[in-house]
Amino acid sequence: MLNPLSQAQIEAITLWHLVQHSLAGFRKIQAHYPSLADALQAGQLPVWQALGLHKSHLQRFQEFHTAQGRQQFQRCLQQIQQQSDFVLTCADADYPQQLLPYCDRPPVIFGQGDAQALLQPQIAIVGSRKPSPHGCQTAYDFAFYLSEQGFYICSGLAQGIDQAAHQAALKHRRTIAVMGTGLDQTYPPQHQGLRRDIQERGGAVISEFLPQTRPLPQHFPRRNRIVSGLSLGVIVAEAGLKSGSLITAKTAAEQGKAVFAIPGHIYGEFHQGCHQLIREGAILIDHPQQALEDLALPAQWQAAQLQAAEPAAADEPDVPEHLHELHQQLDWTGQTLDQLAQRTQQDAPALTAQLMELELLGLALQQAGCYLRCRAGK
């Protein structure tokens, strides 16, 4: 059940509503004002105009300050509260740390299921919506293996490869779906049951889109940056030359993520996209363990996962309250002491002491001068 929205969350949602999901518009307003509350005041229209906001955003701003506009937004908030199990803004401790380095990160994430799933180590598996039976089986097998090792499988809830990956990872209760619509809709509609299973079996279904956002074509390439951004690496299981999964691979490469491609028959049209990626520098893999090796994850962490592929929640240590904020800042790839000090606004001696506590509890690991998570905690 969704906790009451904070004032800061409501302000972020309001601006997101006014700029109609425009990342550029949101960042422009956010950069100009010390507080979003100031930006939303009725007298700020001239400032919005001077900042060069789109005319549709200016019109929406004016409408918002009418009785009808207020009512419309209140209905939107009610839908969010009814449909969401969690709402995360960039300022919230539970916002996925792996997205923070990117300037195009979603300002607001609406979600159903378990918000903590977003903080777990993820690998994306994507591919064609109309794959061959062999491609579906490959995606299923890779997702099954990787989720068994402790990784969450992130994908886009689409038909074909996405569907197979989600279904396999559900066997180990480890999958995350990123949608290209508001949470009030499911696309494709026949995946309503799959979506419900993800929500109810330890996973999460998320979207950056407000309620009533329809499945428009431009929304699906856009959500791919979240799929790749959340993940340690992206595996393209099967794709033709025009597959949308190639956009995910391109975005992942731009984000500095590892891109893996599974090869196929040289005459098969189903595999031409994967072969193109390999020619462009993607890593060829024919076994999921190769992805783990190429990601160069700490050997100690992998060993711990192999020993407890299905860890019981009761066995996970509690994170002491005074360490919770720092633990939430840790990710699965590692950050230096300076990076953590900047994010937590703590001095080095205090931070070092807290990191040592987390290491002693088995919740953090130091590797090559960087600190990273090694268990989920609760």
Contacts 24+ apart (CB under 8 A), 357-363: 357/320, 357/323, 358/323, 358/326, 358/327, 358/330, 361/317, 361/319, 361/320, 361/323, 362/317, 363/317, 363/319, 363/323, 363/327
Identify which of 85, 50, 63 has the alpha carbon closest to the alpha carbon of residue 17.
Answer: 63
Dihedral pair phi/psi, residue 67, rounded to 5°: -60, -40
Q: How far apart are CA 262 and CA 12, in angstroms?
A: 40
pLDDT digit string, tens, across residues 154-206? 999 999 999 999 999 999 999 999 999 999 999 999 999 999 999 999 999 99
C-alpha distance from residue 190 to each of 187, 196, 253 (Å): 8, 11, 32
The single residue listed with the structure tokens 């777990």 is 120
pLDDT at residue number 299: 41
Domains 112-295 and 311-373 share a fold: no
Q: Where are the domains of the chain?
A: 7-83, 112-295, 311-373
Structure tokens at 327: 């633990």
pLDDT at residue number 365: 81
Question: 66 exposed, middle or buried (CB, 10 Å; 0-12, 13-18, 19+)?
Answer: exposed
Strand 283-284 relative to strand 364-367, pairing? unpaired
Q: How far apart are CA 204 and CA 174, in angstroms?
A: 9
| 289 CB neighbour count, 10 Å cutoff | 13
Fold of 112-295: Rossmann fold (3.40.50)
Task: Please state whether the peptide bond connecting residue 188 to the residue before it is cis, i.e. omega within 30 degrees of 0.
Answer: yes
DSSP structure string for 218-279: THHHHHHHHHHHHSSEEEEEE--TT-THHHHHHHHHHTT-EEEE----TT-GGGHHHHHHHH
Which stretches of the chain score pLDDT less than 70?
A: 1, 297-317, 375-378
C-alpha distance from residue 60 to each of 4, 15, 32, 319, 363 (Å): 26, 10, 19, 44, 46
The answer to whether 70 touches 100, Cβ cutoff 8 Å, is no
Q: Across-strand partners of 196?
A: none
Q: Is 58 helix (H, G, I), strand (E, B) or coil?
A: helix
Pick the CATH number of 311-373 from 3.90.800.10, 1.10.357.10, 1.10.10.10, 3.30.1300.10: 1.10.10.10
| 33 CB neighbour count, 10 Å cutoff | 17
| 221 CB neighbour count, 10 Å cutoff | 14
Q: How far apart are CA 324 and CA 373, in angstroms?
A: 12
